Structure 1
Amino acid sequence: MVIAVIATEYEPTIIGGLGIVATRLSEALAARGHEVIVLTRGSSRHIEEIRKRHLRVFRYPRESQYFSKRTQTFYADPILKHLKKMNIRPDLIHLHSVQGDQLAEAMARYYGISTMYTCHSLLAQETIQSSFARRMEQRQCHIIERSDAIISPSRWQALLLTSQYPTAAEKIFVVPNGTRVTRNPRIWNDRSMQHILFVGRLIRSKCALETITAISTLRKIDRNVHLDLIGQGGRDYTALLHKETARLHLTPHVQFLGSLSHKDVLKRMQRTGIVVVPSRNESFGLVALEAMGTGTPLVATRAGGLSDFVSNDTASIITNVTAQDISKAIQHVWNHPDQTLKRRYLGYSLAKQYSWEEIARSYEKVGTGKGDLFKPQIESEGHIE
């Protein structure tokens, strides 16, 4: 099968989970013998092409006839012309990014093929209310209506999709994201449990502010506690985080690392003491799964998609997203070393089940019409007020 993958993010240009999934899943599908054609953004003035076995990546220049930075849109006609010139004829479209809506629709019409849309997050759930955000939400709605199959990474998000788009219920499938477990015995070495790591966008729902406040409490117990934050966010919220860090006299003990490559993030996880995921909602929660895959102690909520794989058996659970409860959950890791080690082993074993090869098999079933449709059930877990 020839699969055309449309994504704004692809390694090495990865901002968050979407880019990780688009990259690793495309590689896994190619490894299984499919011809995968990735259409993504590039930084050069010319189209860049990278070839590997069964995998071709085309990076189209931003702010060009191929992609508009202002409207965040892949332009269909010039990209279609390029594909025809390259003699590429896909059998299936796999859309990851809303920015590829016009391109996917034009390709589906021209080649007479189906579109499979991986919905990484529901824009209707975002708190940003700008006119641009509303337009992007409308575009996502159009994608959901027009796609032949919609893949949600968790049951929680699938329930949201079915409640907001009931007419799409008959084409929703749940396929989780995957991870690569660290195959290195050194991950079980003793770590400094005072070293805490936060990975994610610096937005209110990820609760970096509450985590910083928790560090202030923890340092009253242990002066060696320090926090690293990986990720970027909006100017106002980021400024608030720096201001609060200074107010609490934590500047020497809280490090803002900005965006790092996915490889560097995993390396830091392997060396850190605790990964904290204090989110109020997550469509999946890839950071938590990756922490398990590196054998790192996990402190997390069970909000949203996290409830599919995070439990008291694999993590110290944050029951309410307050600085006090984050602090308590971290102290539980410190005070119960035997239970923490057991959770690390169980989490590592669980992460092995989320291999990209297995995830690729599930996508194959959806793409060939053999996947199992999501059957909604009334559930209350996975949401935190």
Structure 2
Amino acid sequence: MKVLHVNAGLESGGGLTHIINLLKEAKSEKKDFTLLCLADGPVAKAAQEAKINYHVLGVKSRYDLTSLRRLSDFINHGNFDIVHTHGPRANLYLALIKGKITAKWCVTVHSDPYLDFKGRGFLGKVFTRQNVRALKKADCIFAITKRFADLITTKTGISAAKVHVIYNGTFFHDDSAIPAKYEHPHFNIVNVARLEKVKGQELLLQALKKLDNGNVHLYIAGDGTQKRSLQELTQKLELGPQVTFQGFMTHKQLKHLYRRMDLAVLTSYSESFPLVLLEASDNLLPILSTDVGDIEMMIPDKRHGFIANTGDVASITAALQAAVNTPKEELKQMAFREKAYVADNFSLNKQLSSILTVYQSLIKGD
């Protein structure tokens, strides 16, 4: 079975990690997977570093539809059985050439398709409609959470038989391979996410202000369209001494940063099954998240982490306060407990096995 994964190539967050990790696992299991990036960028660079079989189609812009013929030729001449797209742009391209290829087409929905372009005005609405139309044409959809699966079937009218819930997985390291934490005087929290409306960093800043604890320091690792407005909000709330904008960070840089952190936090309005929290857990950080996606599958109870209500500053503040008030030894044991749980349930091996089962059923016509 030959499988082609297609992405725009410009991902720099969880989507990039999902794609690269999945193909690394496939390579380790000797599966015939290839990655095609529509444009050169972070994904192709990460694939090269991971020694994954990849190609770049060379699309010049979002509106470069002259590359559609090259894309269909690449798929047909490569004799791929499955084409698996990630992201709205790749979805649109496959929707436009679906009638010209023989391969079955799968899509992974990494986030709420109705929120992906939130805050982008008229063009955002256009992109949202195009992406939803593309999803309807796919042979199969992988939803990262049951909530997304339910949303897709109820809001778009796509048949439930086409939608499969498969949770994200990641590589987990032995605890002995995780470097010891640095001693530090403050209670440090880290938010690793794109700086976009959907990630809700403004809620985290407001909660930090309400917490009113100068010993709590926030590190925001990521970049995006909301960077300036978030920096302005930080100054407006007089939180400058407590907040550091790290910008985009590589995995190596993040691992170093994690050694000075006490808590990993996501305050998103929407998530699938956030890989950044799995990765933080692998690095033995306790985690806090808003009640997004199927987060209760990742944090099953209060012994494994902290959950706040989505979009609720007061609830986020209370969860932060609970974490700050927890003795350091208890937080340490929580981190060990959570890592053991997620490593047992959300490995890349399990994720890939579930995806391969669906591929096989598509090829057989089940």
What's the TM-score, normalizing by structure 2?
Answer: 0.85
Correspondence for 2:2? 2
Residue 228 (structure 1) aligned with residue 224 (structure 2): no
* Counterpart among 217, 221, 232 of residue 243 in structure 1: 232
SS of the residue corresponding to residue 304 of structure 1 reads coil
* Partner residue, 1:23: 20
1:41-80 maps to which residues of 2 (within 5 A)? 41-43=38-40, 55-63=52-60, 68-69=61-62, 71=63, 75-80=67-72
Partner of 2:188: 195
> Using the alignment, how far apart are the partners of 1:316 and 1:176 within structure 2?
20
Closer, same or farther: CA 265–303 of 1 in aligned 2, 3 Å: same
Range that drifts further, 351-360 or 170-179: 351-360
Residue 35 of structure 1 deviates from its aligned partner by 1.4
In the other structure, the counterpart of 1:355 is 347
Distance 1:279 1:225 in 2: 20
Matches within 5 A, 1:1-385: 1-9=1-9, 14-43=11-40, 55-63=52-60, 68-69=61-62, 71=63, 75-81=67-73, 88-101=78-91, 103-105=93-95, 108-126=98-116, 127-128=118-119, 130-185=121-176, 186=178, 189=181, 192=184, 194-218=187-211, 220-221=212-213, 223-234=214-225, 237-311=226-300, 312-319=302-309, 321-337=311-327, 338-352=329-343, 353-369=345-361
Count of residue pairs the alignment pairs up: 355
CA RMSD of aligned residues (A): 3.1
1:297/1:343 contact within 8 Å kept: yes
* Cα separation, 1, equivalents of 2:229 and 2:97: 44
Distance of 1:335 and 1:130 partners within structure 2 = 41
Letter in 1 for 2:125: R
Could you tell me how far 1:322 is from its partner in structure 2?
Answer: 4.0
Distance 2:92 2:361 in 1: 24
CA pair 93-53 structure 1, distance change in 2 beyond 3 A: same
Give structure 1 stretches of 5+ with no counterpart. 372-385
**CA positional deviation for 1:202:** 2.1
Aligned residue identity for 2:291: R
TM-aligned CA deviation for residue 229 of structure 1: 0.5
Identity between Structure 1 and Structure 2 (%): 19
Post-superposition CA distance 1:137-189 (Å, at most 9, x none): 22222222221111000011111011113342111100011112233435565
Pairwise CA distance, 1:354: 1.2
Mapped to 2, the partners of 1:330 and 1:197 lie a distance apart of 12
* CA deviation after TM superposition for structure 1 residue 347, in Å: 1.1
- The TM-score with structure 1 as length reference comes to 0.81
Q: Is the 8 A contact 2:85 2:107 kept in 1?
A: yes
Moved more, 141-150 or 313-322: 313-322
Q: Deviations 1:192-243 (Å, cap 9, x if unpaired)?
A: 461110111223342212222333344x44x332211112232xx4333212
- CA distance change for structure 1 residues 189 and 238 in 2, over 3 Å: closer, same or farther? closer
Return the alpha-carbon distance in structure 2 between the equivalents of residues 53 and 26 of structure 1.
9
Distance 1:266 1:199 in 2: 12
Structure 2 gap ranges (5+): none
* Aligned mates of 2:315, 2:64 — CA distance in 1: 39
Is the contact between residue 203 and residue 233 of structure 1 (CA under 8 Å) also seen in structure 2?
Answer: yes
Q: What is the distance in 2 between the residues matched to 1:263 and 1:14?
A: 18
